[in-house]
Amino acid sequence: MMKNICELLDIKYPIIQGAMANISKAELVAAVSSAGGLGVIGSSNNNKEWVRNEIRKVKELTDKPFGVNILLLSPHANDIAELVIEEKVKCVTTGAGNPGPYIEKWKEAGIIVIPVVPSVALAKRMEKAGADAVIAEGMEAGGHIGRMTTFALVPQVSDALSIPVIAAGGIADRKGALAAFALGAKGIQAGTVFLATKECPIHENYKNIVVNAKDTDTVITGSDQAPVRVIKNQMAVEYIRLNKEGASFEELEKLTLGSLSKAIYDGNLNEGSFMAGQISGLVREIKTVKEVIDEFVIGFTTYKESLEIL
Ligand code: TUI
């Protein structure tokens, strides 16, 4: 019998907080892990010392397991891949690439490896390479996205693999949690809903932009190779216009450079890049991390009960 997500990670609920660049730092990660889920540090493009510092801070704030996400596009990916072994982190998740070359070393070190996959093909390769589970993330998600929707991706990946699948993209409440299980997932990952929490260390404007967004308020920016979902604002519209007109990489970069920091730290509504998923429209108030987790758990209980009835 395959291990369930809670046994695999030694956590209470199969809820993973999706890594968010420069957002899921020690404060949020420790809060999620303390509430019974798995908090995950978003390494993003930060260097080894930055990530080590966040890991140490989480260890001071909680004795519960947590994870580190490695952005495989980052110039520091190799360094962080070593760091997680040095710091004996419980779990590594990866994004935006194929972590195949690292998996054997991580498994030797006893780390639980959970790559994000945008397709059945990569999911199968990850299972073969020794991954413990995969996160099947649909393009409803915020930030860098693939091309499949959660509803189509999760059941196909679940059918193709014998390791557990975690659903991500478009999950923000009990209904989403329940639906994920119906699609064959054994756990969920959520990012957007954790933006609108008291513990999330971002500018209040970022939280409010998510709370006030409606269903159709996100757009896809970024290049064709690396599409990025953000909340529609002046910056996003300008980016899409320039990209359509065939602007150079340099011109586009000038626009995006620092835009994430402008969102996270300055709350700059016009020039910031506010990454968030399509489910933002469902997020209507700022809650505590514990309230978000408790909401998801109601979805899981509904599923359990329905199994018992039939
Ligand atoms: O990685 C994410 N979401 C992210 S990363 C990020 S930081 C960033 N900021 C600006 C531009 C680019 C990145 C913000 N949001 N989600 C996981 C994810 N992974 N989505 C899609 C993928 C993915 C794509 C291709 C995973 C593997 C993959 O493999 C290609 C291959 O090599 O087979």
Judge contact between 172 and 190, C-beta under 8 A. Answer: yes
Contacts of 292 (CB under 8 A, 6+ apart): 190, 193, 194, 197
Contacts of 308 (CB under 8 A, 6+ apart): none
Atom of ligand 1 nearest to the CA of 142: 15
Judge contact between 20 and 191, C-beta under 8 A. Answer: yes
CA nearest to 182, candidates 147, 205, 158, 162? 158
Give residue ranges with CB within 6 A of ligand 1. 21, 44, 71, 95-98, 116, 118, 122, 137, 143-146, 222, 226, 228, 275
Full pLDDT tens readout for the chain, 310 residues? 678 999 999 999 999 999 999 999 999 999 999 999 999 999 999 999 999 999 999 999 999 999 999 999 999 999 999 999 999 999 999 999 999 999 999 999 999 999 999 999 999 999 999 999 999 999 999 999 999 999 999 999 999 999 999 999 999 999 999 999 999 999 999 999 999 999 999 999 999 999 999 999 999 998 888 899 999 999 999 999 999 898 888 888 777 778 999 999 999 999 999 999 999 999 999 999 999 999 999 999 998 877 777 7
- 232-255 per-residue burial string, b: 16 or more CB within 10 A, e: under 16: ebebbebbeeebeeebeeeebeeb
Give residue 304's pLDDT: 81
Contacts of 7 (CB under 8 A, 6+ apart): none
- Tell me the residue type at 224: D
Query: d(Cα 46, Cα 22) in Å, to the nearest integer?
Result: 8
Query: d(Cα 103, Cα 209) in Å, to the nearest integer?
Result: 38
For 9-199+288-307, CATH number? 3.20.20.70
Give residue 224's pLDDT: 81
Distance from the alpha carbon of residue 284 to the mean position of ligand 1, in angstroms = 27
Instruction: Please give the model's pTM, rounded to 2 decimal places.
Output: 0.97
Going from N- to C-terminal start, the domains of the chain cover: 9-199+288-307, 204-280
Residues linked to residue 165 through DSSP beta bridges, in sequence order: 134
Mutate to test the pocket of ligand 1, among 40, 103, 116 (most ligand atoms within 8 A of CB): 116
Mutate to test the pocket of ligand 1, among 68, 144, 262 (most ligand atoms within 8 A of CB): 144
Token pair of 88, please? 């004996």
